[in-house]
């Protein structure tokens, strides 16, 4: 299953639909399976633009912030990741941006090795807790 498949009519993905309907658990599941959090539909809207539910909006905004932090090398990304629950952590770690990169790939490609190391430690710990 391609979690980023678009409908022919609107160009929306499953993440657009789940976000617009407030299906938080589905949003998290899609991101855990590599959904692109900022993919645009034919109207140029990303899932965050369509969300009317605070819980979904909060998660999508967090993921957007994390990707910005990863690109800039902002060390605050670590405290933000530590502050979320395990389910949201996994969703954030496996979500992808519109370049199809994960947070870890963004930190590596921008040569933020200190952050990369911290994220790898967190991933290792989260995998041990599964």
Which CATH number do you get for residue 42? Answer: 1.25.40
Tell whether 8 is covered by a domain.
no
Cβ atoms of 81 and 72 closer than 8 Å: no
Q: In the chain, count of helices (H) and strands (E)?
A: 8, 0
d(CA 34, CA 20): 19
Sign of CA dihedral 8, 13, 14, 17: negative
CA geometry: angle 20, 3, 130, nearest 5 deg: 100
Tell whether 4 is covered by a domain.
no
Tell whether 86 is covered by a domain.
yes
The closest alpha carbon to 110, from 72, 66, 69, 64, belongs to: 72
pLDDT tens track for 66-93 = 999 999 999 999 999 999 999 999 999 9
Note the pTM of the prediction, 2 decimals. 0.92
Tell whether 80 is covered by a domain.
yes
Tell whether 41 is covered by a domain.
yes
Tell whether 82 is covered by a domain.
yes
Could you tell me the pLDDT band of residue 52, with boundaries at 50, 70 and 90?
very high
pLDDT tens track for 101-126 = 999 999 999 999 999 999 999 999 88
Range of the domain at 53: 14-128
pLDDT tens track for 15-46 = 999 999 999 999 999 999 999 999 999 999 99
- The tokens for 74 are 């902002």
Could you tell me the pLDDT band of residue 1, with boundaries at 50, 70 and 90?
low
Question: What's the structural domain count of the chain?
Answer: 1
Residue 10: strand, helix, or coil: coil
Tell whether 100 is covered by a domain.
yes
Tell whether 3 is covered by a domain.
no
């Amino acid at each position: 299953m391609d979690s980023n498949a678009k409908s022919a009519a609107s160009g929306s993905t499953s993440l657009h639909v789940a976000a617009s309907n407030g299906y938080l658990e589905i949003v998290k599941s899609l991101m855990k399976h590599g959904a692109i959090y900022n993919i645009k539909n034919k109207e140029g809207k990303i899932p965050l633009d369509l969300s009317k539910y605070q819980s979904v909006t909060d998660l999508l905004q967090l993921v957007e912030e994390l990707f910005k932090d990863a690109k800039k090398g902002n060390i605050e990304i670590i405290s933000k990741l530590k502050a979320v629950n395990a389910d949201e952590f996994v969703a954030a770690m496996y979500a992808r941006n519109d370049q199809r990169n994960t947070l870890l790939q963004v930190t590596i490609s921008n040569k933020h090795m200190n952050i990369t190391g911290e994220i790898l430690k967190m991933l290792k710990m989260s995998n041990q807790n599964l």
